[in-house]
Structure 1
C-alpha cells in the first residue's frame, strides 16, 4: 500500500485488507514500512516488544520481531519517533531482503504499508514490490500528491503499472471523477503508465469508531459499507497474478505476489 499524502486511510486499509485475506484462509504478514512513524500496531491495539529497529540496530532475528495478531495475520512492526529509521542505508535494505527471503514458504501475501510521500524509503519499497496499490481520496491535494508519486516512480525508475483504490468516497460519482482525473493526467503527461481501479471504499462513520477502539473495521462491523467494499477488493487481490517481468531497480523482494497499500 502506498499514497502520495498522509491522511488518506492507507494504513487502515492495509490492516483491514490483511484481516480480510486472513479470513479467506491466506497466510498474511503486514510489514509496517513507515519506519520512523509507525502506527500499524496502534491501530491494532498491540504493544510489540521488538520492532524493525531491533533488526537493524541490535541484531535481532526477523522471527523475534514477527508478531501474531488476534485477527489471523502477523505484523512486522516498525519504530515510531526514531530518527535512525527514517532513511535506511543500502546494507540495511539488503539485510531486510535476506531476512524476508527466509519466510518465503510460510506466507501467501506480504502487505507492505509504506509511508506517504516520495522520500527514499517510500520509493525503495515501491520499487521492491510487484504490485502497487495506491490509495487516494476524492480531494484535490490527494489527487495532486498521488500524481506526484506516480510521476517520480515513472520518470526516475521506469515504473508504469499501478492499481488504485479510492477511499472515503462520499458518492460513487466522486470516486469515479477522481480516478478519471488521475487517469487523464497520467495518460496526457506520463506516456505508458497503466492505472487499474482496484476498488472504491465509501465514507463510513463506523471506520472512525473502529480506529478509536483499535479494532479493524472489518471485525467490528463486517457488514458495514467500508468492510463490504474492501471485502470485494480482497477477493480481487487473491486473483492477481504476479508480474511476468519485474520492473524497477530491485528485481525481487519476495517470490510470491507482493503489493503495497
Structure 2
C-alpha cells in the first residue's frame, strides 16, 4: 500500500515537473496572395474550438495584417518590444475563441529589415512566455527573405500554401529548395488553396512534386485541398473567419479537417540542434524526466 502511494506521488510529481512542448507550425508560401494568413487564422480558430490553447505570431513584420483581418486593435506590437518599451507578453491580444495574437507592425520599414541576430532574438523571446500554449502558428511574409527563412526553420512543421498559378508553384519551389538545401529542412506539408476540386488540388501538388523530386531530397506531403469558395471572400470583407461565419461551407470543412490533422502531428521531445521556438522549454525536459525517474525509484 505504501509502495503504491509512493508510486502515485512520484507519477504526479513527474507530471508537474515535465514541461509540455508547444507545437510550432510555420505557414508560408513564397508568393503573396496565395492565402497564407487566411489558412493560418482559420486553422488557429478551428484548433481553439477543438479545445487547444493557440497562439498566432504575425511574422510579416513590416506589413502585418493578422489583427486587421480579425478586426482587433492593438496599441503595442513587436516594434515596441524591439525598442525595449515592453515585454513580449505585454503586446499579446486575444482573438476569437481565446486565440492569442502576437501583432507585428504595419508600414514600418525597419521591422522588415531586421538582421539575422534580431530574428534570433525574437525567436528566443517566446521561451520567456509563462502561459502554456499547445500550438503556435507562425504566419510569415511572402518571398524568400532572411526573415521568412529564419521563422520557417525555427518551426517543427512547415506548411507551404500554393495555388494553381505558375508563379505560385515557382516561388514555392524556390522556398523549398533553399530551406532543404541550405538549412536541411527535410519535410514540407503542402496546402493546395483555392482549387476547384480535389482532383485539381492533386494535380497542383503533382506539378510541384515533379520538380522537387527531380532536383531535391525534400519530402512533400499534400495535407489539404481548400476549395475556391465565395464564403471565404465574404467572411474576409466582414473581418470574420469562414470556419466561424460559415462553418458548413466547403472551405470551412476543409480547413477544419486540416486543423484536426495538424493537431496529430508529433511534437519532438528534444531540441533539433538549431535555433527554434520554445527551445529552452525543450532543454528543460530531460532534466525533469531524470527527476521523475529518480522519484520513482
Partner of 2:13: none
Larger fraction in helix? 2
Write out aligned runs for 1:35-184 (5 A): 35-103=61-129, 106-184=132-210
Choose which of 200, 203, 212 in structure 1 pairs with 2:228: 203
Structure 2 counterpart SS, 1:71: helix
Choose which of 214, 236, 239 in structure 2 pairs with 1:188: 214
Q: Is 1:34 paired with 2:60? A: yes
Partner of 1:19: 45
Deviation track 1:86-120 (CA, whole Å, cap 9, x = no partner) reads 12234433432332002265100000000111011
Partner of 1:253: 277
Identify if the C-alpha distance between structure 1 residues 101 and 165 changes in structure 2 by more than 3 Å, giving closer, same or farther. same
The CA deviation at 1:138 is 1.6
Q: Is 1:223 paired with 2:272? A: no
Farther-moved stretch of structure 1 (45-54 vs 94-103): 94-103
* Separation in 1, partners of 2:130, 2:173: 33
* Separation in 1, partners of 2:36, 2:121: 26
- Please say if residues 51 and 76 of structure 1, whose CA atoms lie closer than 8 Å, have aligned partners that are also in contact: yes
The CA deviation at 1:60 is 1.1
- Please say if residues 130 and 246 of structure 1, whose CA atoms lie closer than 8 Å, have aligned partners that are also in contact: no
Partner of 1:213: 238
Runs of 4+ in structure 1 displaced over 6 angstroms?
none
Q: Is 1:5 paired with 2:5? A: no
Partner of 2:259: 234
Farther-moved stretch of structure 1 (41-50 vs 54-63): 54-63
Farther-moved stretch of structure 1 (13-22 vs 83-92): 83-92
Deviation track 1:211-260 (CA, whole Å, cap 9, x = no partner) reads 1000111111011111100111111011101357766x834312589xxx
* Aligned residues between the structures: 255
Q: Could you say which structure has the larger radius of gyration? A: 2
* Separation in 2, partners of 1:155, 1:245: 23
* Separation in 1, partners of 2:207, 2:185: 20
CA RMSD of the aligned region, Å? 1.8
Identify if the C-alpha distance between structure 1 residues 62 and 250 changes in structure 2 by more than 3 Å, giving closer, same or farther. same
Structure 2 counterpart SS, 1:250: coil
Q: Which segments of 5 or more consecutive residues in structure 1 lack a partner in the other structure? A: none
